[in-house]
Chains A and B, each alone.
Chain A
């Protein structure tokens, strides 16, 4: 045991050295939001809460409050999560279980789309949204985000459905239940871990989405936290890095909280199935 233990030390030292810059940057990010620092110095010279004032008043006089933006982001992330999960649940069941025409083609398409750099489609998406009158609306961005997330969601859920034994459904059908009842009462509970993981995953993905709202809903005022954050440093007049860091922390907190709370459920998505 003893020599085995000692052999870890070089690895631990190497990893510490490698991650030190990251840790230091995070620590400074936190410190900078509550202190004042003289230009050119790295040692803070005073404590202040002024960088957190955005919590109580808008940064620019006629701009949105941070809470309105957080609300928008929440709506965006929740809608994405709910629609992606809902569609994936039903689509993946069909792909896993029903002998439908074009199934192979559809499955192949899913993989291609999953690996596809979807951003290259942005011009086409822009034109479609424009045509549908959904350009520069939150609804439009949500729909595009959902479409981009679906291949992943369907593929993951199909994996979970595939691991449910056929016999459970056959037993349900001979027990007199309709296919829909079988799905709802017998199959859905078996894929529940996948459902939870996908829900959280697509929520987080929606919460952190930046490019789509930036390109498809530029507006005069930013609509979600990610684009707002970018706007803070993009605007020369109010560029304020301490403020940027404070908003970043505000933006990252829900993500951290969710990871801490749902860690186990999220790991399910890589486990790929339920155990009876």
Chain B
């Protein structure tokens, strides 16, 4: 079902946390609300679920405005970071709870529970208690409970934050698989850009109650609207260099990147260089010295202090032979640079 937030506003006491937020999620789309803690992403999610009162604007499920509808009557499924399973109930009772509350018959509940348990692959665990399950299994149960009564929207609040790294990878693709198989409209709240990029059709990047940019993961990575977006996405993260654009693009440290091209005459600005766009033979050379090297197995991460000032990161295939302390004259792929005004807007 299509979900629309129109001028959505939320206040806590005198503080306006979210002021007039607009968001449209297409039917069957999975969208990420990405941002640092305190940016309002969970608040938005809880407002959609009906757990927070809406202080202004509309929330539309399809054509129905649910802003004043109680959480019970809203028909959303929600998965919490700590799973929020009911500890005194078996897995089957947990999943069946929403149906039991609605007064469905035992045979019908049993049938639906089994079918959804098959979908999330926990058929074997139906008689267990939550405490007897691993984190990943608990997450699957929570997902099944959220999906069993076919909600209009599936809401995921940091669903992977409590899992270890390996399980997180597994559940990332599992949640996406289930979302695609059921074709449900889903909203994922996360502070982890990798989750957002790998699981969702689109990302809405938030900052202090505002959506800064909303686009597909690839588009957001390749074409950030401002310095904040550029710095939020990418791991290892982007490096920034102070520079001045006259005829020539000259770093604050004195080294030149050649003709300024379309940036000519912009004056002082900031350049963003992603690690994969800096390395041997990538473009105009800069003199520098390797100050740190991290081995990541398949590739190595370098930090290079440029002569005259400024620091860049580079990521190279393992086996380059470059060590900490080495002088290098690696280049920057100038055509892949991002330029930002001193205020952070993309140039």
Listed in ascending order, the chain A residues whose CB lies under 8 Å from chain B are: 165, 167-168, 170-178, 181, 185-186, 189-190, 276
Contact = CB atoms under 8 A, between A and B. Distances in A.
B88 A170 contact: no
Given A170-B84, A171-B78, A276-B131, A177 B51 contact: no
Given A168-B86, A186-B86, A174 B50 contact: yes
Contacts of B145: 171, 175
A178 B82 CA distance: 22
Q: How large is the interface on B (under 10, 10 to 19, 20 to 34, 35 or more residues)?
A: 20 to 34
The residue among B51, B76, B84 with the most chain A CB atoms within 10 A of its own CB is B84
6 residue pairs, one from A and one from B, having the closest CB atoms:
A167-B84, A276-B87, A175-B98, A189-B88, A171-B84, A167-B80
B51 A170 contact: yes
Interface in B299-343: none
B80 to A, nearest CB: 4
B77 A174 contact: yes
Contacts of B88: 189-190
Contacts of B149: 175-176
B130 interface: yes
A174 B74 contact: yes
A276 to B, nearest CB: 4
Interface of B: 46, 49-51, 71-78, 80-82, 84, 86-88, 97-98, 101-102, 130-131, 145, 149
The residue among A170, A172, A175 with the most chain B CB atoms within 10 A of its own CB is A175
Contact of B72 (A167, A176, A276): A176
The residue among A167, A186, A276 with the most chain B CB atoms within 10 A of its own CB is A167
B78 A170 contact: yes
A165 B51 contact: no
B101 A181 contact: yes
A172 B77 CA distance: 11
Nearest to B50: A174
A251 B49 CA distance: 57
Given A173-B71, A174-B71, A174-B78, A276 B51 contact: no
Contact of B84 (A168, A176, A177, A181): A168
Given A174-B71, A176-B72, A178-B72, 6 more contacts: A168-B86, A170-B71, A174-B72, A176-B98, A177-B101, A276-B87
Contacts of A173: 50-51, 71-72
A226 B159 CA distance: 58
B76 to A, nearest CB: 6
Nearest to B102: A176
B318 to A, nearest CB: 43
Contacts of A175: 97-98, 101, 145, 149
A140 B131 CA distance: 46
Nearest to B98: A175
A185 B97 CA distance: 10
Nearest to B157: A167
A68 B88 CA distance: 41
B151 to A, nearest CB: 8
A170 B51 CA distance: 7
A47 B284 CA distance: 112
Given A170-B78, A171-B80, A177 B86 contact: no
A185 B86 CA distance: 9
B84 A165 contact: yes
23 contacts: A165-B82, A167-B80, A167-B81, A167-B84, A168-B84, A168-B86, A170-B49, A170-B71, A170-B84, A171-B80, A171-B84, A171-B86, A173-B50, A173-B72, A174-B49, A174-B51, A174-B72, A174-B78, A175-B98, A176-B75, A178-B72, A189-B86, A190-B87
Contacts of A276: 87, 130-131
Contacts of B130: 276
A171 B75 CA distance: 12
A176 B74 CA distance: 8
A176 B86 contact: no
Contacts of B77: 174
Nearest to A189: B88
A247 B210 CA distance: 76
A273 to B, nearest CB: 12
B76 A174 contact: yes
A178 B70 CA distance: 10
A275 B84 CA distance: 13
A191 to B, nearest CB: 11
Contacts of B73: 176
A170 B87 contact: no
A168 B71 CA distance: 14
A177 B101 CA distance: 6
B329 to A, nearest CB: 55
Given A175-B101, A176-B149, A177-B101, A170 B80 contact: yes
The residue among A168, A176, A186, A190 with the most chain B CB atoms within 10 A of its own CB is A176
B190 to A, nearest CB: 17
Contact of A176 (B81, B101, B131): B101
Nearest to A276: B87
A194 to B, nearest CB: 14
A276 B51 CA distance: 24
Nearest to B88: A189
Contacts of A186: 86
B87 A167 contact: no
Nearest to A169: B84
Contacts of B86: 168, 171-172, 186, 189
A213 B98 CA distance: 50
